[in-house]
Amino acid sequence: MASRSSAEEDLSCPVCYDIFINPVLLSCSHSVCSSCIKRVWKNKTFKECPVCRRTSSTDRPPINLALRNMCESFKQEKKQKSRSGVCSVHNETIKLFCLDDQQPVCLVCRDSRKHTNHRFCPVDEAVVDNKEILKASLERLQKELRISVNRGQNLCETTEEIKFLAQSTETQIKDEFEELHQLLHDEEASRITVLREEEEKRSQRMKKKIKGTRKQISSLTITIRDIEEQMKAEDASFLQNFKVTLQRAQYIPDPDPSPSVAITFTDHLTNLKLNVLQKMQDNVGKSGRNSTAMYGRGFPKLAMATLSTLSHTSRPSHHSH
């Protein structure tokens, strides 16, 4: 017992008192766990050995490979003995289970100071009792596993459904907007056609007016020239032609019977957005019954609110005349 305890003490860190983990070799030849020496030296100016207080020559001591290998071998041997039912401390057969420390022990362990006033039971009884405990926990974990698996499947299905619905809705959005674009294009073409027709009609009227005006200009030019010549004629000749000349001077051109031919703003632009939006709403009312998922029931209300707003903002001002 003393020999085994001494061996374990030789492989124990002087700081944490556990078997060495990645021991480092200090310049004073003492070894300490690498994590322990980092914790001891943290925020310290002088890097001292926690055993002899000698200052280390480096703040990055090397790993003690030989000691690390010995510790790993010792741990492996201890684990194998524990699996074979032999006490790793006393090399005695394990026959008892300490209920307080929840670990298997030998008869020597039971009588040691470490287990003073502890409760024990035979190993076979502890195995039965603990397996029952684990069985209940295992059943609960298996149930949780089934729930988690089902939840995972549902989440995967929901993810696929979201992806499908997003793609389907995107296609529907594109189709709906393509239809709206076509409606706007057709409306634009229709209005431009009407505008061009009116432009042609009014242009023809203007051509007739220009032709008539040119005739008046020619007639007036000739009349003025003749009157000017008569003003220069001899007295007898002037008086002889005066009556005719005076009648020609009394010429009054025909008034313009045609109305204004200007294309006004109000003819084509007043309430343009309002009328187009009304047609778009009518179109949505016809085709939107199969696309409720896209627009929802709130679209008609939104459209009506927009129509109401545009009906006020699109009215021509009194100053536009």
Q: What is the CATH number of the domain that holds 14?
A: 3.30.40.10
pTM for the full model? 0.40
Question: Does 4 reside within a domain?
Answer: yes
What pLDDT score was predicted for residue 320? 41
In the predicted model, residues of the chain with pLDDT beneath 70 are 1-6, 81-84, 253-267, 284-321
What pLDDT score was predicted for residue 267? 65
Question: Does 125 reside within a domain?
Answer: no
Domain boundary among 81, 115, 130: 81
Domain count across the chain: 2
Question: Does 254 reside within a domain?
Answer: no
Question: Does 251 reside within a domain?
Answer: no
What pLDDT score was predicted for residue 276? 79
Domain boundary among 53, 81, 109: 81
Question: Does 105 reside within a domain?
Answer: no
Question: Does 137 reside within a domain?
Answer: no
Domain boundary among 81, 104, 120: 81
Question: Does 271 reside within a domain?
Answer: yes
Question: Does 163 reside within a domain?
Answer: no
What pLDDT score was predicted for residue 314? 46
What pLDDT score was predicted for residue 241? 86
Domain that holds residue 279: 264-316
What string of H, E and C letters represents the secondary structure of the chain?
A: CHHHHHHHHHCECCCCCCECCCEEECCCCCEEEHHHHHHHHCCCCCCECCCCCCECCCCCCCECHHHHHHHHHHHHHHHHHHHCCECCCCCCECCEEECCCCEEECHHHHHCHHHCCCCEEEHHHHHHHHHHHHHHHHHHHHHHHHHHHHHHHHHHHHHHHHHHHHHHHHHHHHHHHHHHHHHHHHHHHHHHHHHHHHHHHHHHHHHHHHHHHHHHHHHHHHHHHHHHHHHHCCHHHHHHHHHHHHHHHCCCCCCCCCCCCCCCHHHHCCCHHHHHHHHHHHHHHHHHHHCHHHHCCHHHHHHHHHHHHHHHHCCCCHHHC
What pLDDT score was predicted for residue 202? 86
